[in-house]
């Protein structure tokens, strides 16, 4: 498989990440402190991307700091009601994500969709879209993170159907 950089070069990309960093008092997602947002911002900044749309939760703080980091790139952040109370619920959400995407975005306007929520990615794999599963935390032959243990089978199923970007082989 090509690297993410090669896949997104000169492309219009839709990113659908999972976020977990939020203020436990207000339940507002803090994107500036979220590792997955940092990964996406870094990838956008270091690549020769045409444009990017990044889905984000409805309740966020520090979005202005993120926008400042990518101000020289063509990036649009879209607040989406598919994001739930925590990463586990977001991993399992399908209907709200699909309703939002179907009603607010044009699949044809994206050259590639890079998706992380497990069940959504599986559903998107059944549609006629250029899809990459950006699976940064999954079971490997030597390690199984506790927070994704229950997703090992769906991860394998997705990886058997679409290109899957991983951190290590």
Mean pLDDT confidence for 141-151: 57
- Report the percentage of the chain scoring pLDDT > 70: 85
Q: Which residue carries 């409805």 as its tokens? A: 58
> For residue range 22-66, what is the model confidence (pLDDT) as tens digits?
887 888 999 888 888 998 999 899 888 999 999 999 999 889 999
Mean pLDDT confidence for 85-114: 91
Alpha helices, DSSP H only, in 31-144? 35-46, 63-69, 87-92, 95-104, 118-124
Mean pLDDT confidence for 129-144: 66
- Report the percentage of the chain scoring pLDDT > 90: 40
Tally helices (H) and strands (E) across the chain. Answer: 7, 8
120 band by pLDDT with thresholds 50, 70 and 90: very high
Residue, of 8 and 150, whose pLDDT is higher: 8
Nearest one of 71, 76, 70, 77 to 56, comparing CA atoms:
77
Strand 12-16 versus strand 51-57 pairing type: parallel
Mean pLDDT confidence for 121-135: 85
């Amino acid at each position: 498989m090509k690297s993410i950089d090669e896949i997104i070069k000169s492309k219009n990309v839709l990113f659908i990440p999972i976020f977990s960093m939020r203020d436990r008092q207000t339940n507002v997602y803090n994107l500036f402190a979220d590792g997955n947002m940092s990964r996406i911002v870094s990838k956008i900044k270091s690549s020769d991307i045409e444009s990017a749309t990044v889905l984000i939760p409805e309740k966020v703080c520090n979005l202005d700091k993120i926008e400042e980091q990518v101000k020289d790139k063509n990036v649009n952040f879209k607040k989406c009601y598919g994001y739930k109370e925590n990463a586990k619920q977001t991993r399992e959400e399908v209907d709200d994500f699909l309703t939002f995407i179907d009603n607010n975005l044009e699949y044809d306007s994206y050259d590639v969709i890079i998706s992380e929520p497990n069940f959504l990615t599986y559903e998107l794999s059944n549609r006629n879209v250029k899809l990459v599963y950006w699976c940064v935390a999954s079971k490997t032959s030597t390690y199984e993170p506790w927070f994704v243990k229950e997703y090992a089978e769906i991860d394998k199923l997705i990886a058997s159907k679409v290109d899957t970007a991983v951190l290590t082989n």
